[in-house]
């Protein structure tokens, strides 16, 4: 999941420094993540053009899918909603040992 988050940040920010700041990691750490992403995908993902980084056609094609996948993973890993006994329709049965 770390590479997915790094890829999303890189594609959104368009720079290693911006992606690093967004994910609260150092620029060298983000640069290493970009290297792993490049090896994994077989694509450069971002290429230097002058003073900026430009996404490759592959990166442009997967940008929305990466963002959506990360959003889904974060939703699955998010803490459960708090128990709301006033508005919850669930029935909770508790068997008291002295009443049986």
Angle value at C-alpha 76, between 33 and 65, nearest 5 degrees: 55
pLDDT digits (tens, 9 = 90+) for 24-37: 999 999 999 999 99
This prediction has a pTM of 0.74
pLDDT at 65: 96
How far apart are the C-alpha atoms of 39 and 98, rounded to whole Å?
Answer: 64
CB–CB of 15/50 below 8 Å?
A: no
> Going from the N-terminus, what domains does the chain have, and what CATH number goes with each?
2-77 (1.10.10.10)
Residue with tokens 């708090």: 82
Residues across the chain:
100
The distance of Cα 14 from the centroid of its chain, to the nearest Å, equals 16
| Mean pLDDT lowest among 28-37, 67-76, 89-98 | 89-98
pLDDT digits (tens, 9 = 90+) for 75-88: 888 876 665 556 55
């Amino acid at each position: 999941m770390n590479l997915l988050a790094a890829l999303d940040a890189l594609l959104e920010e368009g720079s290693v420094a911006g992606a690093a700041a967004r994910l609260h990691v150092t620029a060298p750490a983000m640069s290493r993540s970009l290297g792993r992403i490049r090896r994994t995908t077989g694509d450069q993902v971002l290429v230097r053009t002058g003073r900026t980084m430009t996404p490759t056609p592959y990166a442009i094609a997967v940008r929305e899918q990466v963002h959506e996948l990360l959003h889904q993973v974060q939703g699955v890993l998010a803490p459960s909603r708090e128990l709301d006994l006033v508005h919850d329709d669930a029935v909770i049965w508790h068997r008291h040992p002295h009443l049986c």
